[in-house]
Amino acid sequence: MTVVLDSWAVLQWLEGLEPAASRVDTVLQERPVMSWVNLGEVFYIVTRSEGEDQARTVLSHLRSLVSADHATPDRILAAARIKAHYPMALADAFAVAAALEHDAAILTGDPEIISAGGNWSVEDLR
């Protein structure tokens, strides 16, 4: 089964925080999908905490491990529709849109995605 990683899952993995880190590590062996918007979110968070050089290193490594889902016009509108109907951050809506497009489960611990009650599959990593 295809899975989608959101930025929450990847940030937990980068920090080695369990139980998410082990699950993400396992899933990375299968080249999961990750939205470019969520990759950008990881990039800016790592830049803030560790500097842009480290963020570039992290992004390069992630790009070798995931299948990056592009923010095409269709994907942007799908994420906008999700955001319009569910109270979540726009980046979270991109993760959901990618999961729906790929018929995949979202691996996350983000309460906005988990508790939204949408028609997507979620694996709670908390």
Is 27 within a domain?
yes
CATH code of the domain covering residue 65? 3.40.50.1010
Is 126 within a domain?
no
What is the tally of structural domains in the chain?
1
Q: Listing from the earlier edge strand, what are the strands of the sheet with 3-5?
A: 67-69, 33-35, 3-5, 105-108, 121-124
Burial 66-85 (b: 16+ CB within 10 A, else e): beebebeeebbebbeebbee
Q: What is the pLDDT of residue 66?
A: 98
Is 108 within a domain?
yes
Q: What is the pLDDT of residue 1?
A: 74
Decide if pLDDT at 16 tops 80: yes
Instruction: List pLDDT tens digits, range 60-110.
Output: 999 999 999 999 999 999 999 999 999 999 999 999 999 999 999 999 999
Instruction: Kindly indicate the confidence band of residue 33, based on its pLDDT and cuts at 50, 70 and 90.
Output: very high
Is 125 within a domain?
no
Structural domain containing residue 47: 3-120
Instruction: List pLDDT tens digits, range 107-120.
Output: 999 999 999 999 99
